[in-house]
């Protein structure tokens, strides 16, 4: 630019800027741009989740190969399996959760979800909830500031996975609940209603991709759903109808609270919510067939996939 | 896009609506193709959205612009798009009227596609987005000296292709 001198160079740059401005088209954005972006977010989340799981698998495999021990059947991801049975050095990253020494949390709101075996989820007053009908049906809860996945963010039909459109805020938590097949619990030795406190690499990939650092996990027996919709159930902590399914197996509800750098108070909230899960009898006269949230000023109805 | 739980009241869609048109034009300059430009914009938005709550109060436009450029750079490196710089730039300076009878869009597209990716990014940031040398260097993760040298090379190429200063000065 210097061969023309400063004024000439400046003029040339002005002309170039004008050309760029005039010559660059003004295309219009597709009307469904945000939907496409959302789909990209979900796919990115799923790829990251799959990548994290693969990395964990590889890490465990390497660790298992380095630690002398009994013959192993191969790497197992299930965090609640006794570490010694896998020949892996026991890690203190998974323990039974015990409530922190903080004031008791008031769970004044209720989410009723017949599609989740009659789930009755109690949360603090300010929390929000959502239900994705699926199948499989999914439910979420979180304090203000937490992005709750909705139907469009979920690949529920194919994988049962959802991705919030943003990371957890610092100190945040996302509670997610879903029905699972009893086969997925075989070999696990954690009692129903016992809240597991997972940290470090024990935290599931689906939580880590949200920047989660700690996870509370609990399961409750529900009985096998009799149809694609709600399952039968009775009031009480056992959930389901107490009868074996046709093939002799029960289903269960899995609840996970993914936390990011939680305060003791937040941890207590999450733990209390998981411990406070109960189930209502569904499909009876007078029972609202829709999943609903009661007692909350900003009632949230379920969404459909 | 109706969300349960009220997760869409955080201003991201409004931000996209306000910045999208300019961003799409910038993407067009980087890619030289309308479809690739929209794909680039959507990819950048998908990267930024999950972090929106962290960046929305701290120059989100700059963050998005940087994401757009780095995403395009990664495409370029991976050759996902099979895009290669043209070996030659069509010489249209001989046109009687620089703009008359010339599809300026086509001309500009050919000219920017002829630039290597880094030079193209420098041109877009400096002369379309009007960023300074230091700001451009920050976005591209390089030194100010690199920006200056890449800028000079790019201008030499563009000067040969675009109807800028048709008459030589004395």
Interface predicted TM-score (ipTM) of this complex, two decimals: 0.73
Chain A residue numbers touching B164 (CB-CB < 8 A): 12, 15-16, 19
Q: What pLDDT is recorded for position A76?
A: 30
| Residue A240 sits in the same domain as residue A288 | yes
Asked if the Cβ–Cβ distance from A164 to B7 is below 8 Å, we say yes
Quote the Cα angle for A221-A49-A82, to 5°: 50
The reported pLDDT for the residue numbered A99 is: 73
Interfacial A residues in 9-38 facing B (CB < 8 Å): 11-13, 15-17, 19-27, 29-30, 33-38
- Among A44-48, A64-68, A112-116, B35-39, the least confident range: A64-68
Tokens of A105: 């949390």
Buried b (16+ CB within 10 A) or exposed e, A227-253: eeebbbbeeeebbbbeeebeeeebbbb
| Tokens (6 digits) for A212 | 């989660």
Of A1, A12, A300, which is closest to B5 when you measure between CB atoms?
A: A300
B22, closest residue in chain A (CA to CA): A26
Higher pLDDT: A86 or A13? It is A13
Task: Give the nearest chain A residue to B8 (CA atoms).
Answer: A147
Quick check: B108 and A23 CB within 8 A?
A: yes
In sequence order, the β-bridge partners of residue A5 are none
- Cα(A265)–Cα(A143) distance, integer angstroms: 12
Q: Counting runs of H as helices and runs of E as strands, what totals does chain B give?
A: 8, 0
**B48-85 pLDDT, tens digit each:** 988 888 888 888 998 999 999 988 888 766 554 444 44
* Residue B33 CB contacts under 8 Å (≥ 6 apart), including other chains: B109
Q: Give the nearest chain B residue to A3 (CA atoms).
A: B169
Nearest CA-CA distance, residue B97 and chain A, Å: 14
- Looking at chain A, the number of H-run helices and the number of E-run strands are 4, 13
Of the three residues A61, A91, A121, the one that is the final residue of a domain is: A91
- Which has more confidence, A90 or B156? B156
Residue B5 near chain A (CB below 8 Å): yes
Contact B7 A38 (CB under 8 A): no
Residue B47 pLDDT > 50, yes or no? yes
How do residues A134-186 score in pLDDT, each as one tens digit?
667 788 999 988 878 766 656 544 445 565 556 788 889 999 998 887 656 55
| A226 in a structural domain | yes
Tokens of B111: 């000219």
Are A216 and A234 within one domain? Answer: yes
Which residue on chain A is closest to B110 by alpha carbon? A23
CA-based nearest distance A210→chain B, Å: 9
A212 and A103, same domain (yes or no): yes
Number of domains in chain A: 2
Q: Quick one: pLDDT at residue B57? A: 84
> In this predicted model, what pLDDT tens digit does every residue of A22-33 receive, in sequence order?
888 888 888 888
Interface of B with A in 28-47 (CB under 8 A): 28-29, 34, 37-38, 41-43, 45-47
Q: What is the pLDDT of residues A86-140, one digit of tens each?
A: 333 444 456 777 777 777 778 888 898 888 888 999 999 889 998 887 667 788 9
Q: How many CB pairs under 8 A join A and B?
A: 141
Contacts of A22 in chain B (CB under 8 A): 99, 104
Of A53-62, A128-137, B83-92, B133-142, the one with minimum mean pLDDT is: B83-92
Fold of the domain spanning B99-163: Arc Repressor Mutant, subunit A (1.10.10)
pLDDT at site A186: 55
Same domain, A102 and A87: no
Structural domain for A73, as ranges:
48-91
Kindly state whether residue A9 falls inside one of the protein's structural domains: no
Q: Please write the tens of the pLDDT for every residue from A196-254.
A: 999 887 888 778 777 788 999 998 888 655 443 333 333 444 444 333 333 444 678 89
């Amino acid at each position: 630019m210097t061969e023309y001198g400063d004024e000439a160079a400046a003029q040339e740059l002005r002309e170039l800027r004008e050309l760029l401005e005039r010559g660059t088209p003004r295309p219009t954005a597709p009307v469904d741009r945000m939907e496409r972006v959302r789909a990209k977010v979900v796919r990115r989340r799923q790829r990251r989740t799959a990548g994290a799981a693969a990395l964990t698998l590889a890490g465990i495999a390497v660790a298992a190969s380095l630690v002398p021990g009994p013959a192993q059947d191969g790497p197992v991801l299930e965090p609640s399996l006794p570490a010694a049975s896998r020949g892996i050095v026991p890690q203190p990253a998974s323990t039974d959760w015990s409530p922190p020494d903080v004031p008791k949390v008031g769970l004044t709101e209720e989410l009723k979800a017949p599609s989740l075996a009659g789930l009755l989820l109690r949360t603090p007053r300010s929390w929000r909830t959502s239900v994705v009908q699926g199948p499989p049906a999914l439910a979420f809860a979180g304090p203000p500031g937490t992005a709750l996945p909705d139907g469009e963010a979920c690949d529920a039909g194919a994988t049962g996975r959802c991705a919030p459109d943003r990371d957890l805020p610092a100190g945040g938590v996302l509670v997610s609940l879903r029905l699972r097949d009893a086969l997925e619990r075989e070999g696990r030795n954690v009692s129903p209603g016992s809240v597991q406190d997972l940290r470090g690499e024990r935290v599931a990939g689906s939580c880590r991709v949200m920047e989660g650092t700690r996870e509370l996990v609990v399961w409750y027996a529900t009985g096998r759903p009799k149809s694609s919709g709600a399952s039968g159930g009775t009031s009480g902590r056992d959930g389901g109808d107490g009868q074996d399914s046709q093939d002799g197996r029960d289903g269960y509800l899995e609840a996970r609270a993914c936390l990011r750098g939680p305060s003791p108070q937040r941890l207590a909230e999450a733990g209390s919510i998981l411990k406070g899960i109960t189930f209502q009898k569904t499909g009876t006269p007078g029972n609202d067939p829709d999943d609903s949230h009661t007692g909350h000023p900003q009632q949230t109805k379920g969404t459909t996939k | 896009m109706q969300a349960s739980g009220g997760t869409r009241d955080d201003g991201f869609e409004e931000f996209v609506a306000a910045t999208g048109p300019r961003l799409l034009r910038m993407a067009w300059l980087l890619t030289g193709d309308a479809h690739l430009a929209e794909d680039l914009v959507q990819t950048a938005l998908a990267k930024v959205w999950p972090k929106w709550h962290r960046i929305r109060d701290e120059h989100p436009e700059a963050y998005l612009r940087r994401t757009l450029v780095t995403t395009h750079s990664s495409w370029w490196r991976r050759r996902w798009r099979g895009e290669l710089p043209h070996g030659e730039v069509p010489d249209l300076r001989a046109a009687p009227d620089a703009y008359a009878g010339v599809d300026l869009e086509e001309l500009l597209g050919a000219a920017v596609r002829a630039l290597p990716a880094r030079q193209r990014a420098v041109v877009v940031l400096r002369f379309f987005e009007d960023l300074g040398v230091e700001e451009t260097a920050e976005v591209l993760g390089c030194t100010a000296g690199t920006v200056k040298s890449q800028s000079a090379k790019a201008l030499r190429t563009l000067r040969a292709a675009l109807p800028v200063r048709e008459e030589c000065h004395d």
